[in-house]
Structure 1
Amino acid sequence: MQTRIGAPFLACAVLLAMTLAREAPAAEPAPTEVTIRLDDRQYRAAGIEVTRVEADAGTTQTVLPGTVSVPPQQLRVVAAPAAGLVEALLVGPNESVTAGQPIARLRSTDLLEAQRTYLQALSAEKLAAERLRRDEQMHRERIIAERRLLTTRADYDYARTTLQEREQMMALLGMSEPDLRQLKEKRVMAPALIVTAPEDGVVLEIRTTAGERIAAAAPLFSIGRLDPLWITLQMPLAQAAAISPGTRVSVPGTPAQGEVVRLGRSVDPATQSLSAIVEVTDGAEAVRPGQVVSASVALRPNGTPQWRLPSGAVVRHAGQSWVFLRTQQGFRARPVVVISETASIVSIRANLAPDDQVATRGILSLLAELTEVYGG
């Protein structure tokens, strides 16, 4: 069923929509620049000084502090497979090890108990296998019923499963295949357990001592693969926009170099800095985990002109860096990106012209005007 709308009603609806459209305020984006009107008398009274911007090179280097570390995926913690006494440590700190290399000897009653139950399961499996062989022969000769054969077969399956479980337990305890074969063939129980390195690497930390009694799963060693390495840079918020994944980084005085692979999202509340992870793929042997370095970061041009100013010309407010550009009406607060900074000079990227002048001194009044727009 269709309803026909009269022409007078349609005209009223259109008129009402146009009225609401005129009355509704348009949503405008937040301004990126702030105009500050200032006449010559106010300009002189505020003691404002200006300087002409100076063109800077398109590619620059900035130095950031960083700490060398081992990537988490390349760290392995070797834990005690069973509770017992650390009889001997077979490697020392900073020693290179290979996968399967013995690194500690552990004397454990858990190991003896595991070997005993394994031998019991081995004997039970052999006995069950013999019973199964005999009953299969007797069933073929129609001496026993099929029901008895099925029971004997189930007993053998249970004994075999129990033996496999005990074998897995021996493997979890770290018993090597030759020791397990000797236990199976000669029934000679090993008095001690040999802990081996899980992979190639360097012993970064030893967390136990010879003669110490430890619990099961207690950490014994930290082993790390030291190529590649990470450098965690501390990056000021003002330079965060100038660094991106793929930015090249080197350590002066060493062949170590790599590129940024990850940028942090959270800010350190104490230093107000972000972290940037650099993966050192070349010359990783020249730096060591835990070392504090000064890394040189190569900042590539992104199409925005780069300028050099006195450090006092840049202010920080509302999480952004600003300069105050001189205009005929007064000044214009313009957001900029800080590339590098020293005690006296700052390099920025901003849409400026060679003849532009920015305020360098007496800018408290200008900052107050900016604060009124963006809040404290």
Structure 2
Amino acid sequence: MSSLLARRVAFGCAYSFFFVAAAVAATPNAAEFAVSAAQMQALGITLAPLEKPAAIHGMAYPARVVVPPSGNQVVSAPIAGRVEEILVDEQQAIKAGQPLLRLSSPEYGDLQLKLLEAATKARLTGQTAARERQLFSEGIIPERRVQEANAANQEAAARLRFAEASLRLAGADPAAVRKASEAGTLQDGLVIRARGAGTVVGLDVKAGQRVQGSDALLRLVNTQQLWLDIQIPSDRQQQALSSKATGSIKVVGREASATPMSVGAVVTDNQTVTLRARVAGGGELLRPGEVVQVQVPFAENAAGWALPLPAIARQDDQAYVFVRTEKGFTAQPVTVVSSAGQSVQVTGNLRAGQQVATTSVIALKAAWLGKSGSN
């Protein structure tokens, strides 16, 4: 029963094909030929509307998601000590200023003590200089003592600034420096905070571990700033850079896009170059290190109409597309300006809103020429 139904469908399609071809056999060079809706359905012809000229995306190229150098941060130990507590986990998103870990260090205590001593001495020399100036104004002491007191005060103030800077370099926040300097409040541990927002991608230490100054503690990346390193054919590098004006690079299967930045100076053995692009949208859908597929709109494609490759028919050296009309179709000559994968870019007498056949184009060509479609 199924084989009988298949023979009937095949006979109906062949009959419709013969009917369409016979309708134009008398005028094989006619630009317009009649095809009814029923015949279109029998031949499996589908239509696509022309919207506006646009760049084709074409073939997909491999790309690696990378983090720019400014987006990588290694948090290292500012001084020697012991890791008391780790306050974050791997893959945790953090904010600027958020505590990362707590470090206990005798060196940090010495720095606080030096700051306290410098602050005390600065206050004392300041009071001495003020008293000497008062005595000099009363004519009790010579000016030399005033000069000596001012010099001692300036030296003490410089030592105080140095002690404050040393404590800040050790990782102390301004509030802790102020408390140690003004109120004499000392802390037994140092809390290391994040300088910027990011994601923890690696913990290099464990709680209780002793570290030296400059030892790596953890690593952060800022996933809000991502690049794509795209491998494209070397002969397309100029068009890829010029595509800044034609459209953004699309990530296949993701709602993410990127803008071209630069092309590498080295051509690989596969005759490809690295096109670097900045992710402009959808960065939260990408992960550093993963390989994705992207579509690059090349600049020379921007002026034409993007069509699927099966929509093009050729007769001799001329390319045609079949535009739907009230009676049937018109064979419209076009020029193929570029192609990539299953997409082509054409120019010709086309306008937005027209319907173009995208399947069974061979049957329409045969009907247009009044032949079997083998040419």
Give TM-score scaled by structure 1 length.
0.63
| Cα 1:338–1:234 shift into 2, 3 Å | farther
Distance in 1 of aligned mates of 2:238 and 2:131: 81
| Cα 1:276–1:58 shift into 2, 3 Å | closer
Distance in 2 of aligned mates of 1:203 and 1:58: 39
| Cα 1:129–1:58 shift into 2, 3 Å | closer
Distance in 1 of aligned mates of 2:282 and 2:241: 22
Which position in structure 1 is the counterpart of 2:103?
Answer: 106
Post-superposition offset of 1:340: 4.1
| Cα 1:298–1:202 shift into 2, 3 Å | same
Superposed, which structure 2 residues align to 1:253-264 within 5 Å? Answer: 253-264=253-264
Distance in 2 of aligned mates of 1:179 and 1:107: 15
CA contact (8 A) 2:260 2:275 kept: yes
CA contact (8 A) 2:56 2:343 kept: no
The answer to whether residue 279 in structure 2 is matched with residue 280 in structure 1 is yes
Which position in structure 1 is the counterpart of 2:298?
Answer: 299
The answer to whether residue 139 in structure 2 is matched with residue 142 in structure 1 is yes
Which position in structure 1 is the counterpart of 2:202?
Answer: 205
Distance in 2 of aligned mates of 1:195 and 1:81: 9
Which position in structure 2 is the counterpart of 1:355?
Answer: none
SS of residue matched to 1:227:
coil
Distance in 2 of aligned mates of 1:305 and 1:125: 78
The answer to whether residue 190 in structure 2 is matched with residue 193 in structure 1 is yes
Cα distance per residue 1:254-280 (max 9 Å; x no partner): 1011221111111234x4421011211
Post-superposition offset of 1:339: 6.1
CA contact (8 A) 1:62 1:298 kept: no
The answer to whether residue 129 in structure 2 is matched with residue 153 in structure 1 is no
Distance in 1 of aligned mates of 2:222 and 2:55: 38
Post-superposition offset of 1:69: 1.4
Distance in 2 of aligned mates of 1:143 and 1:206: 66
| Cα 1:242–1:137 shift into 2, 3 Å | closer
Which position in structure 1 is the counterpart of 2:250?
Answer: 250
Distance in 2 of aligned mates of 1:339 and 1:76: 43
Could you tell me which amino acid in structure 1 is paired with residue 264 of structure 2? G
The answer to whether residue 191 in structure 2 is matched with residue 173 in structure 1 is no
- Between stretches 205-214 and 145-154, larger displacement belongs to 205-214
Could you tell me which amino acid in structure 2 is paired with residue 291 of structure 1? E
- Between stretches 209-218 and 86-95, larger displacement belongs to 209-218
Cα distance per residue 1:160-196 (max 9 Å; x no partner): 1110111111111111233223323442321111100
Post-superposition offset of 1:238: 4.2
Equivalent residue pairs, number? 263
Distance in 2 of aligned mates of 1:67 and 1:78: 25
Which position in structure 1 is the counterpart of 2:81?
Answer: 84
| Cα 1:227–1:58 shift into 2, 3 Å | closer
| Cα 1:60–1:295 shift into 2, 3 Å | closer
| Cα 1:90–1:305 shift into 2, 3 Å | closer
The answer to whether residue 265 in structure 2 is matched with residue 265 in structure 1 is yes
Identity %: 28
| Cα 1:171–1:142 shift into 2, 3 Å | same
Two-structure CA RMSD over aligned residues (Å)? 3.0
Could you tell me which amino acid in structure 1 is paired with residue 259 of structure 2? E
**Equivalent of residue 225 in structure 1, options 216, 222, 244:** 222
SS of residue matched to 2:58:
strand
Distance in 1 of aligned mates of 2:338 and 2:217: 47
| Cα 1:278–1:148 shift into 2, 3 Å | same
Give TM-score scaled by structure 2 length.
0.63
Distance in 2 of aligned mates of 1:209 and 1:272: 46
| Cα 1:157–1:274 shift into 2, 3 Å | same
CA contact (8 A) 1:239 1:340 kept: no
Distance in 2 of aligned mates of 1:132 and 1:59: 79
Question: Structure 1 stretches (4+) deviating beyond 3 angstroms?
Answer: 57-60, 238-242, 302-306, 337-341, 345-349
CA contact (8 A) 2:55 2:297 kept: no
SS of residue matched to 1:77:
strand
Distance in 1 of aligned mates of 2:90 and 2:126: 50
| Structure 2: gaps (5+ residues) | 1-53, 310-336, 347-375
SS of residue matched to 2:115:
helix
Could you tell me which amino acid in structure 1 is paired with residue 295 of structure 2? S
Distance in 1 of aligned mates of 2:135 and 2:283: 71
Post-superposition offset of 1:75: 2.5
Which position in structure 1 is the counterpart of 2:122?
Answer: 125
